[in-house]
Amino acid sequence: MAETKYIFVTGGVSSSLGKGIIAASLAKLLQARGFKTTIQKLDPYINVDPGTLNPYEHGECYVTEDGAETDLDLGHYERFLNVNTSQANNVTTGRIYQSVIEKERRGEFLGKTVQVVPHITNEIKERIQILGNKGHYDIVITEIGGTVGDIESLPYIEAVRQLKWELGDDNALVIHLTLVPFLSAAGELKTKPTQHSVKTLMESGIKADILVCRTEHELSDDIRRKLAIFCNVRQEAVIQSIDADTIYDVPNMMLKEGLDSVTLKKLNLPDDSTPNLKHWNNFLERHKNPKAEVRIGLIGKYVELQDSYKSILESFIHAGAENEVFVNVESIHSEFINENTIQHKIAHLDGILVAPGFGERGVEGKIDAVRFARENKLPFLGICLGMQMAVIEFARNVMQLKNASSTEMDAHTKHPVIDIMEEQKNITHMGGTMRLGAWDCKLAEGSIIKDAYKKDEIKERHRHRYEYNNKYREQLEKAGMASTGVNPETGLVEVIELKEHPWFVGVQYHPEYKSTVASPHPLFVAFVKAAHEHSKIKSAKLAHKS
């Protein structure tokens, strides 16, 4: 293709309707037809990136291969497309304004008065087209965060209006995701919220080309016709997005609705092939028809909000399908784990994952959970802070280093088995100061981790400030905690294992960021397999007793 086509996805009526899933599903269908497709997210908040946001505010912070701290929707994009995203795939208002202000300070605007139009909107248009101008993609899908009518979103909407006019009708289209609520008192679906949302969009100079309607009930032909007439779209462009059992059903649902066909016709692209979803549907078949079940405890401190650990939960779905088991994840708040509650909360599980996090709240509960897993030979996976808790627990209870800790939680600990990187000690600003993005790791022969990856060297994504303290490495290894993954350049320990345990692994990196439908992460696959083996052994013992 000579010219990149652009698709803009906006939302109306309500937030959390699933713009990211619709964008990812459409991208999957277009990719399955052979089009080179990518997705980007424009976020209207003023933070430069989500790196300093509390997970309760905005869900997890997703990290790309190039070290960008981004919106969690980029995780959906990668899981659906199996293609890496980058800094260019996520833009925030904070980053836009920061860039424009820096240009103004350098005198690039030649003394002009800097305004939202044209300077902010020009910066947005430039960011939208960065991916398309590289010549790597046939289609770029841009998801606009927030809801139409929000003050924060107005510059993005204006930039889309301008771009749509500049690019021409065949090169850009707008998909508007909206809500068609069911009023139980009236016993019917209501189209008025959608009509008002489309009207608000039109007041900004943008006509929706396709309507995707989130609904709990089937849209009748009459309702589709009504929406088409009042919202000024073709009836075939009124797409139903009904509640699904799993987000991975949505591409097939959109295929059935013809979203990809309508899109291609409006972009004047050939609609003469059928999406190849064979691998995708094989995954769905295994996911929906498991042969067994395992219970895994997710020990964290943000468990009230599922989006806080979104990538981990999705990784379990991928790994479960690969093992043909259903992974029943029990979220357990680490603040409520102690000597009195641990037996009730953890003993029945087939494995535990101690999740990442920052700060001292809830760490003692995580340490207690690690100890239970170590002493009871329960399959264990520690990620980032979870790995650090495993080191601290081992130092305290096996090596008898009283009050061993991380300097993140105790700056004056006598035994800082986890410590801040030297180059970070003088940094006071929080944003973007961590070890981020993909780093190399060399794996030890005969280790659990090497058996999981089937490789000598791996490259995994990081997001942390504190590290395993190599000053204690010799002591820890002599006591039985093996360092089975090491960064070849820095010598920093990336993976720890326990020699006297059937499956106990802690990793400094975040494997969940790289798990996709097409490539379930090998570490999660191995962990779920170990939990399944533990479950079978436990069941056999119970059967023998009875």
Q: Does 351 count as an annotated binding residue?
A: no
Catalytic residue IDs? 384, 510, 512
Q: Does 408 count as an annotated binding residue?
A: yes
CA distance 414 to 403: 7
Q: Does 193 count as an annotated binding residue?
A: yes
Q: Does 285 count as an annotated binding residue?
A: no
Q: Does 386 count as an annotated binding residue?
A: yes
For 95, the enclosing helix (H) or strand (E) is helix 93-105
Q: Does 125 count as an annotated binding residue?
A: no
Q: Does 21 count as an annotated binding residue?
A: yes
Q: Does 357 count as an annotated binding residue?
A: yes
Neighbours of 113 (CB within 10 A): 7
Q: In what order do the strands lie in the sheet with 238-242?
A: 90-92, 37-43, 139-144, 5-11, 172-179, 210-215, 238-242
Please tell me what DSSP assigns to residue 119. I
Q: Does 387 count as an annotated binding residue?
A: yes
Q: Does 143 count as an annotated binding residue?
A: yes
Q: Does 150 count as an annotated binding residue?
A: yes
- The token duo for 471 is 């000053």
CB 488 within 8 Å of CB 417:
no
**SS3 at position 107:** coil
Non-local (6+) Cβ contacts of 80 within 8 A are 24, 25, 27, 28, 251, 516, 517
Q: Does 425 count as an annotated binding residue?
A: no
- The token duo for 22 is 């619709």
CA distance 274 to 123: 37
Strand partners, 303: none
Q: Does 405 count as an annotated binding residue?
A: no
Q: Does 194 count as an annotated binding residue?
A: yes
Q: Does 258 count as an annotated binding residue?
A: no
Nearest to 249 by CA among 288, 199, 195, 289: 288
Non-local (6+) Cβ contacts of 100 within 8 A are 114, 119, 120, 123
CA distance 65 to 58: 21
Q: Does 514 count as an annotated binding residue?
A: no
Q: Does 388 count as an annotated binding residue?
A: yes
Please tell me what DSSP assigns to residue 120. I
CB 206 within 8 Å of CB 239:
no
Residues of each annotated binding site: 15-21, 56, 73, 143, 150-152, 190-195, 226, 244, 357, 385-388, 408, 465
Q: Which residues are annotated as a binding site for ATP?
A: 16-21, 73, 244
Annotated binding site for Mg(2+): which residue ranges?
A: 73, 143
- Binding site as annotated, residues for UTP: 15, 190-195, 226
* Residues annotated in a binding site for CTP: 15, 150-152, 190-195, 226
Query: Binding site for L-glutamine: which residues?
Result: 56, 357, 385-388, 408, 465
